[in-house]
Chains A and B, each alone.
Chain A
């Protein structure tokens, strides 16, 4: 069974540009999460989808970040325009509908904003 996959693994962009990160969850997982780790800091929650609906987006830093989950399958996280402080590793995770809370994480997308 394929795990959570994320693309790209690493993206280097200049300040002001746009980047779109993609996450493919484990097939059949209704729950999809985005987290991010800024250098040297904790891994922080960004948002949670249940199927195609945003359940909780309280962790989204500001309106430069836009997350979507088309048809309840894959998800994208767009940063527009990117700022220096957006640099970090963006993790996607998924879990089945009825879960004890164990999340399955992808390897992350490293974003470097110059």
Chain B
């Protein structure tokens, strides 16, 4: 059974600081997704990583995928308050994107 672990589960950081969220998974997969959720809102797609070594960046967020290590990272650069949300990674082991296995989520709180 595929397991996806995220850490940390909760992250409080000051504005302007850098930090990384880690996503480890237990079986072979080369498809990984990052989502953001604001309280009471839908999950918003941030990044789709489809191959080993994939790196994508959007604003202050950068995601990478190492399929050999079964690890993805979401790096936050110079955090701002607007980034406060819960971040989920999700892994697709089917190869068809038809069934995602989610991590527990990382709740990020950026303080002034």
Write the residues of chain A forming the contact surface with B, with a CB cutoff of 8 angstroms: 3-4, 31, 33, 35, 41-45, 48, 55-56, 58-59, 91, 93, 95, 99-108
Interface residues, chain B, CB within 8 Å of chain A?
Answer: 4, 31, 33, 35, 40-45, 48, 50, 88, 90, 92, 96-105
List 17 interface pairs A-B (beta carbons < 8 Å), by A numbering. Answer: A35-B100, A35-B102, A41-B104, A42-B4, A42-B102, A42-B103, A48-B99, A91-B42, A91-B43, A100-B48, A100-B50, A101-B33, A102-B97, A103-B97, A104-B45, A105-B44, A107-B40
In the complex, chain A residues whose CB is within 8 Å of the CB of B98: 31, 33, 48, 55-56
Closest 5 CB pairs of A and B: A101-B97, A43-B102, A105-B43, A105-B42, A107-B42
Q: Which of B4, B97, B99, B102 contacts A100 (CB 8 A)?
A: B97
Bound-state CA distance A51–B48 (Å) is 24
Cα of A102 to Cα of B92 in the assembled complex, Å: 11
Bound: A42/B102 CA distance, A: 6
User: How far is the CB of A73 from the nearest CB of chain B, in Å?
Assistant: 19
Q: Which residues of A contact B41 (CB under 8 A)?
A: 107
Contacts of B100 in A (CB 8 A): 35, 45, 101, 103
Give CA–CA (A42, B25) in the complex, Å.
14
Query: How far is A4 from B35 in the complex, measured between Cα atoms in Å?
Result: 16
Q: A108: shortest Cβ distance to chain B, in Å?
A: 7
